[in-house]
Amino acid sequence: MSNTPTTLFDKVWDAHVIRKIEDGPDVFFIDRHFIHEVTSPVAFLGLENRGVNVMFPDRTYATADHNTPTVNQHLPVQDPLSANQLKALETNSSKYGISHWGLGNPKNGIVHVVGPENGITLPGMTIVCGDSHTSTHGAFGAIAFGIGTSEVEMVLSSQCIMQPKPKKMRINVNGNLSKGVTPKDVILYIISKLTTAGATGYFVEYAGDVFENMSMEGRMTVCNMSIEMGARGGMIAPDQTTFNYINGREKAPKGEAWDKALAYWKTLKTEEGATFDKEYNFDAADIEPMITYGTNPGMGIGISNHIPLAEEVGGGKSTYEKSLNYMGFHEGEEMKGKKIDYVFIGSCTNGRIEDFRAFASVIKGRKKAENVTAWIVPGSHVVEQQIKDEGILDILTEAGFQLRQPGCSACLAMNDDKIPAGKYAVSTSNRNFEGRQGPGARTLLASPLVAAAAAVTGVVTDPRELLEEAAV
Amino acid sequence: MAYDKFTVLTSSAVPLPIENVDTDQIIPARFLKATKREGFGENLFRDWRYNNDNSPKEDFVLNNPIYSGKILVGGKNFGSGSSREHAAWAIYDYGFRCVVSSFFADIFKGNAINVGILPVQVSPEFLDKIFTAIEADPKTQLEVNLPEQTITILATKEKEKFDINGYKKHNLLNGFDDIDYLQAMKSEINTFAESSVY
């Protein structure tokens, strides 16, 4: 029925279905495909084994990020396995005519940072990548989600995947965020309420004042972590903030094409009265700076709170105890004041310029705590250059920090950036799973402000205390 | 990649009664450096299975010779986290053909089917029954019947139906994959692409 109000998600999804299979998935067309060195080699091998070509090479972009060093990128990569993977990406891209931004290329960086940065990500698109944080691109009103390597092979060979349509969820956050509360805190708060599996089977639309007032980079942080509550992806309706961000970027439409695109983009919103399978409402005033204490991203609390008692949390007691045991924490303890060893700022979640500005706002005029090792990793070369141009590098250097080169780094610790066993890392990345940042590493997920406060005090610290001092 | 057809699997099962088993536990990122799909089974559950010196952790279920079989039974929200298909490859390569849980993470579930592993979602109550049955007899046999879409604890005859869509079921029963299907649709896809906005 044409009069039925529809959702943003339905508009974009339905426009990309080529065929509906009865009692099966939709054959779903993919506008843009990102690949990286880790999840693509076996897909290319599959193409070779079948003798099949890449159908639309100009719809795929390759960047090296997961398994790259963050120092001395001008030198040959030391680890032969990593070097081999990077070489495979380069060879495969060249063989099939795919744009490749390898190490040393000025456009190189984390796939979910460079896509939007170059204007590849646009409203209304369908975007996939063999990486679960592809949900990041949903910030532009795109349907974007992570896929497995078999699906990478499908997209390369046919520009389609076979995907059942997810259910729809809307999460509304209204009101004003307090000082020191960032987009990262908003999404960690939401995940803590929904749990790590609370949105499994759903595609999320984030709506309300908080997201309307948020920058594009903030929206990317939020959509990025949709997968951490099980959702395949999350999206935000495009608006003037979106259009301003896109305008002028290299791959963005220009001239007449821009006007045409803009007219289309303005239709991409959920209509009044459209229904969702599930809807949540949160009040911005309830959100404070967040930190995680356990081994999944749903195990987060406001920084001034205590670790919940086993009986207060859902799920199995033994799983909860295993988690706290791994972290070396006890139920009921306060998070503030806990000694930390490492700080990691970066990743596709918080590796953009606004994140480094936030970090710098706290450390300016202070010194890195002696017990802390800090890894500061920009999301791309463009971000690295901004850090230098805006004088943030000087602030970092003055405070005793060093800037590394772009890549996924300690977020998944595939390269040498591994947190040692038993050590505590306050990390702006997206996962605190056991061993995620290195075997035995203990991760506390938080915002760049919380990471900065920990970096200069050496313990878990409420950044608002430092922000207030700075304001005096 | 082709896989063996799946029809009826009768086997003992390996219990892993932990919730939220994420893909970083199934296969840690540092073992994702291969460019071929080979040898991932060796590193399945690497950090739960081995100490830092590579000696086996005796209390981990895969190192306990009492338990074996082609069915892995996990706690709820199995396979959360990353999209790495390597997790499914590791489970398949180790020798499992079926994973049973009361809830699966979305991407893992899709990856599992695409590599020929049948994810069987049962009720929390039935999952408890399976764990109890294995605890009572580690060699207890489960029958996973894909044509009938049932899972049965043979010793007690307790049985439950499970869901799978008809298309994927047909693929698993015949060892077909999606790429074969999509290759046959190329002209339709071309027509669609020509009229698409992007």
Q: Measure CA B186 to chain center.
A: 30
A18 touching B (Cβ < 8 Å): yes
| Optimal mutation site among A35, A60, A68, A162, interface B, most CBs of chain B within 10 A | A162
Tell whether the torsion through CA atoms of A247, A248, A252 and A254 is positive or negative.
positive
CA triplet B14, B41, B175: central angle to 5 degrees? 85
- Tens-place pLDDT, residues A197-207: 999 999 999 99
What are the chain A neighbours of B179 within 8 Å (beta carbons)?
46, 50, 52, 150, 153-154, 157-158
Half-sphere exposure of A413 (CA within 13 A, CB side): 24
**Is the pLDDT score of A1 beyond 60?**
no
Q: What is the pLDDT of residue A129?
A: 98
Contact status, residue A431 vs residue B20, Cβ threshold 8 Å: no
Answer yes or no: do A45 and B29 touch at CB < 8 A.
no
What are the chain B neighbours of A431 within 8 Å (beta carbons)?
22, 24, 81-82
Q: What is the pLDDT of residue A469?
A: 62
CA triplet B76, B47, B95: central angle to 5 degrees? 65
By percentage, how much of chain A surpasses pLDDT 70? 99
What are the chain B neighbours of A24 within 8 Å (beta carbons)?
165-168
Q: What is the pLDDT of residue B2?
A: 62
Amino acid at B86: H
SS3 state of residue A444: strand
Chain B residue with the nearest C-alpha to that of A42:
B36
- Tens-place pLDDT, residues A435-469: 999 999 999 999 999 999 999 999 999 999 998 66
Q: State the pLDDT confidence band at A3, using cuts at 50, 70 and 90.
A: confident
Answer yes or no: do B185 and A158 touch at CB < 8 A.
yes
Determine the Cα–Cα distance for residues B153 and A165; give it in Å rounded to an integer: 33
Instruction: For the sheet with A373-376, list strands across it.
Output: A373-376, A342-345, A424-427, A442-445
**Is the pLDDT score of A23 beyond 90?**
yes
Would you write out chain B's pLDDT as a tens digit for each of its 198 residues?
567 899 999 999 999 999 999 999 999 999 999 999 999 999 999 999 999 999 999 999 999 999 999 999 999 999 999 999 999 999 999 999 999 999 999 999 999 999 999 999 999 999 999 999 999 999 999 999 999 999 999 999 999 999 999 999 999 999 898 999 999 999 999 999 999 999
Structure tokens that stand for A243 in this block? 């259009």
The number of beta carbons lying within 10 Å of the beta carbon of residue B158 is 13
What are the chain A neighbours of B166 within 8 Å (beta carbons)?
22-24
If you average pLDDT over residues A302-314, what whole number do you get? 94
Q: Measure CA B65 to chain center.
A: 21
- Tens-place pLDDT, residues A370-412: 999 999 999 999 999 999 999 999 999 999 999 999 999 999 9
Cα first-last separation, chain B? 30
If you average pLDDT over residues A166-182, what whole number do you get? 98
| Optimal mutation site among A37, A145, A200, A415, interface B, most CBs of chain B within 10 A | A200
A257 touching B (Cβ < 8 Å): no
What are the chain A neighbours of B110 within 8 Å (beta carbons)?
148, 151
The string of DSSP letters for B35-68 reads: SSS-SGGGGTTHHHHB-TTS-B-TTSGGG-TT--
Q: State the pLDDT confidence band at A7, using cuts at 50, 70 and 90.
A: very high
The number of beta carbons lying within 10 Å of the beta carbon of residue B190 is 13
Q: What is the pLDDT of residue A2?
A: 59
Answer yes or no: do A81 and B34 touch at CB < 8 A.
yes
A136 touching B (Cβ < 8 Å): no
Nearest beta carbon to residue A434 from set B25, B33, B185: B25
Answer yes or no: do B165 and A164 touch at CB < 8 A.
yes
Q: What is the pLDDT of residue A472?
A: 42
What are the chain A neighbours of B17 within 8 Å (beta carbons)?
316, 318
Q: What is the pLDDT of residue A316?
A: 81
Which residue is associated with the tokens 């081994």?
A295
> What are the CA-CA distances from residue B28 to residues A322, A432, A467 (Å)?
18, 13, 38
If you average pLDDT over residues A222-241, what whole number do you get? 98
